[in-house]
Structure formats: C-alpha cells, structure tokens
Amino acid sequence: MTLDQEKLNWMKGTKKPFLIAGPCSAESEEQLRSSVMPILNKVDYVRAGIWKPRTRPGNFEGVGEKGLVWINTLKKEMPFHFATEVGTPEHVELALKHQVDLVWIGARTTVNPFLVSELAEVLRGTDLPVLIKNPIHPELALWKGAIERFAKNNVRGLGAIHRGFHSYQKSLYRNIPLWQIPLDLKSEFPELPLLCDPSHIGGDRQMISKISQKALNLAYDGLMIETHYAPDQALSDAQQQVSPQQLLKILDHLTYRRPGLTEETFLNQLEIIREQIDQADLELLQALAKRMDLVAHIGEIKKEHNVAIFQISRWKEIFKSRLEMGKEFKLDESFIMEMLRLLHQQSVKKQTEIFDNEPSTHKNG
Ligand code: PEP
Ligand code: MN
C-alpha cells in the first residue's frame, strides 16, 4: 500500500529535528510543570503517559483522566502541544474530549491487530496526528500492518516511532534497536515521518545522546525523549529519564544531518551492520557458555556413574548431524569440521578437569 503524501505533511513547519519530550508518566500537576516548563521553547510536543501499559500488575498504571485536566491547566499558563499514549477506544474518547494534540500507539498495542483496528475506527477521518510505535518483537509486517490500518481509516497525521525490540538475549540495550527494521519501513514509506525513542531503546540515560545522534545520522525526522524534573524519583522508567537541563545539553550537542546519500550515510550503514555483528557474537558466546555448562553437567553425571568421558558413538553422531546442519546453513564444510574438533577438544578438557578435580561420589569408585 502507498500512503497518501498529502496526509503526511502534518510535521511540515515544525522544528528540525522534530522533538517530543516530557516525563514517562504524568504524576502530578507540579511534576508536569517542573518537568516541562524549562524545555517548552525547544519541544514541538510535550509528552506524558496518562495511562501506562505495565508489563506486570502492581506497578504505577498512570493517573488517568485527571492528568489531562492538569495538562489543560498548564496549557493556560503557557501554551504547548500535548501528546500521550492511547491503548483503548475509551482512551481516545477522553483524549479527544480534553483536546490532546497528538496520540501514539504503544509497542504493546501495535502487536494486536484487533485493538489497532478498533483504535483506527474511533480515529477515522481525524486530523489528530497518530504515531505508531514498533511492536515489541521485531516484525516489520506487523508494524506496517498497524500503519496501514490507520491509513485505510483515513487518519491523516500518521508517523512511526522506533523504540527498539524486546530480546530474550542479553544486550547493551533495554530494547535492541535493530536499525535495519525501521530503515526498511522508511524505504517502503519514504514520506512517513520516522521518530526515534532513545529512552526506551537505551533504558539508561547515559545512552540517550549516542542513540539520538545515530538516529539523526540515519536521517530520522525526530526524537521522543523522556524528561523528568527529578528522574531518579520518577514513578516509571526512572533510569532512562533525563532532567530538563540534561535534555538541553543533549540537544545542544546533536548534529542534524541533511538527508541524502553521502559518505556519512554509507559509513552509518556499515555501523548498523557492525552492531548486528556485535550482537551475533554476543549470542554466539552465550551459546558457547551454555554448551560448556551442559558439558560440565554431563561430565558430573558420567563421573558419578563411572562412565568414560569419550563416547565414540556419540561423537560420531554429533559430527555427522552438525555437518549436515552446517550444510543447510550454507556454512563451509571444512570450517565446521575444524570448529567441531575444537568444541570437542574443549569439552573433553572440561570433563577431564571434572574427573580429576572433584571428589568422586560414584558407588564403585
Ligand atoms: C512510553 O512511551 O512510555 C511507553 C510505554 O513506551 P513503549 O510502548 O515503547 O514501551
Ligand atoms: Mn516510559
């Protein structure tokens, strides 16, 4: 599907890079005032979660409608545009009732096509900008699907927010960025504004600046950065929020790049691939460590039952089946053979250590 370009012009005339900032959650009128007032002349939209979709029950779930009343009180003191997350048709109705200026669909909602359709239905034909965060897991089709559902309902101000993807693997990030996915989205929908949410990608305020610059290097249109007057006291996402002063400093140091294929774009493409290689290596090492733990475990069992370390039939079977697997993955045969030998050598060494060093508990021995 192609998106109607006319409808994607809602960002025109805004600052570059387009900036949404404010606390993860609205907590009190005073907290909003202190978090937002110092940054108002830098931001296009103030953000604050009114309804918080928490992974586990019992965490702070947002203040609800009264937060929208606080926002309107503050808007009278000093006008600004306000953005919040909506996850149910009821949220949308309340957002419209209180003149919210932009809504976004959270990562936990984008994954659910039923809910996305319901939200698209209540927003049908609206001029209200609607930004769609990537789904929790790395599935481009689901992200595109959500955007298409809104586009089909004639929602005019569409955009996307890249907030990273949950991974079961250990990672430097709270949500791994997998930059290739938003870039694929951008190449399918070139006119769709694409924002980066470095706060939810990094999960750590120290990482905001680096992730933001990377997004700008990749020609993202804007950023959404969680900002709280006292980040450590925040009721949600404390570690990743920056103070208003820190935000201003981060913004001061960012370089906005003009779009276009330059040497720099090329270097950034390399950097994306390198980051994927780093992650692949991390996963490889984790898999090796896990394998060695299993090897040690089986070593203990062999020792307990007084069974020889080297089991020729098992080794032959491993060798044969792994070579076949390697072939399926189009890996060079001699490389796999070499690697299997090394793995086997290391496993025998580990089990020998276990046999030599730990007291035997087997009955006959
Ligand atoms: C948020 O922006 O506060 C939020 C809950 O984000 P996400 O949907 O990306 O987890
Ligand atoms: Mn948050």
3-class DSSP string for 175-238: CECCCHHHHHHHHHCCCCCEEECHHHHHCCHHHHHHHHHHHHHCCCCEEEEEECCCHHHCCCCH
CA of 106 to the centre of ligand 1 (A): 5
Residue nearest to atom 8 of ligand 1 (CA): 106
Pocket probe for ligand 1: among 108, 161, 239, the residue whose CB has the most ligand atoms within 8 Å is 108
Consecutive H or E run containing 45: strand 45-47
CA of 50 to the centre of ligand 2 (A): 11
Give 27's pLDDT tier (boundaries 50, 70, 90).
Answer: very high
Mean pLDDT of the region 13-22: 85
CA of 275 to the centre of ligand 2 (A): 24
Beta bridge partners of 304: none
pLDDT at 168: 86
Cα–Cα distance for residue pair 151/2, rounded to 1 Å: 9
Give the atom of ligand 1 at the shortest distance from the alpha carbon of 164: 9
361 has a pLDDT exceeding 60: no
CA of 107 to the centre of ligand 1 (A): 6
Under a CB-based contact definition with an 8 Å cutoff, are residues 130 and 85 in contact?
no
Under a CB-based contact definition with an 8 Å cutoff, are residues 322 and 341 in contact?
no
77 has a pLDDT exceeding 60: yes
Give the atom of ligand 1 at the shortest distance from the alpha carbon of 49: 3
Cα–Cα distance for residue pair 216/251, rounded to 1 Å: 12
32 has a pLDDT exceeding 50: yes
Pocket probe for ligand 1: among 133, 142, 237, the residue whose CB has the most ligand atoms within 8 Å is 133
Q: Ligand 1 pocket: which residues have CB below 6 Å? A: 24, 49, 85, 106-108, 133, 163, 200
Q: Is 158 helix (H, G, I), strand (E, B) or coil?
A: strand
Ligand nearest to the CA of 52: 1
Highest mean pLDDT among 99-108, 261-270, 290-299, 314-323: 99-108
CA of 226 to the centre of ligand 2 (A): 7
Give the atom of ligand 1 at the shortest distance from the alpha carbon of 237: 3
Give the atom of ligand 1 at the shortest distance from the alpha carbon of 108: 8
Give 182's pLDDT tier (boundaries 50, 70, 90).
Answer: very high
DSSP state of 9: G
Instruction: Encode 25-57: b = buried (16+ Cβ within 10 Å), e = exposed.
Output: bbbebebbbbbbbbbeeebbbbbbbbbbeeeee
Residue nearest to atom 10 of ligand 1 (CA): 107
Mean pLDDT of the chain: 91
- Of 72-81, 136-145, 192-201, 261-270, which range is least confident? 261-270
Ligand nearest to the CA of 20: 1
pLDDT above 70 covers a percentage of the chain that reads 93
Cα–Cα distance for residue pair 266/260, rounded to 1 Å: 10
Cα–Cα distance for residue pair 155/7, rounded to 1 Å: 8
Q: Count the neighbouring beta carbons within 10 Å of the beta carbon of residue 211.
A: 23
Give 365's pLDDT tier (boundaries 50, 70, 90).
Answer: very low
- Whole-angstrom CA distances from 224 to 23, 24, 45, 196 are 10, 10, 9, 6
Q: Helical H runs in the chain?
A: 29-36, 65-77, 89-97, 107-110, 113-122, 140-152, 180-188, 198-202, 208-217, 244-253, 263-304, 312-328, 333-357
Pocket probe for ligand 1: among 45, 84, 85, the residue whose CB has the most ligand atoms within 8 Å is 85
Ligand nearest to the CA of 111: 1
Ligand nearest to the CA of 236: 2
Pocket probe for ligand 1: among 102, 115, 163, the residue whose CB has the most ligand atoms within 8 Å is 163
Higher model confidence: residue 269 or residue 202?
202
Residue nearest to atom 6 of ligand 1 (CA): 106
CA of 307 to the centre of ligand 2 (A): 54
Ligand nearest to the CA of 55: 1
Residue nearest to atom 1 of ligand 1 (CA): 24
Cα–Cα distance for residue pair 13/352, rounded to 1 Å: 70
Pocket probe for ligand 1: among 197, 201, 208, the residue whose CB has the most ligand atoms within 8 Å is 197
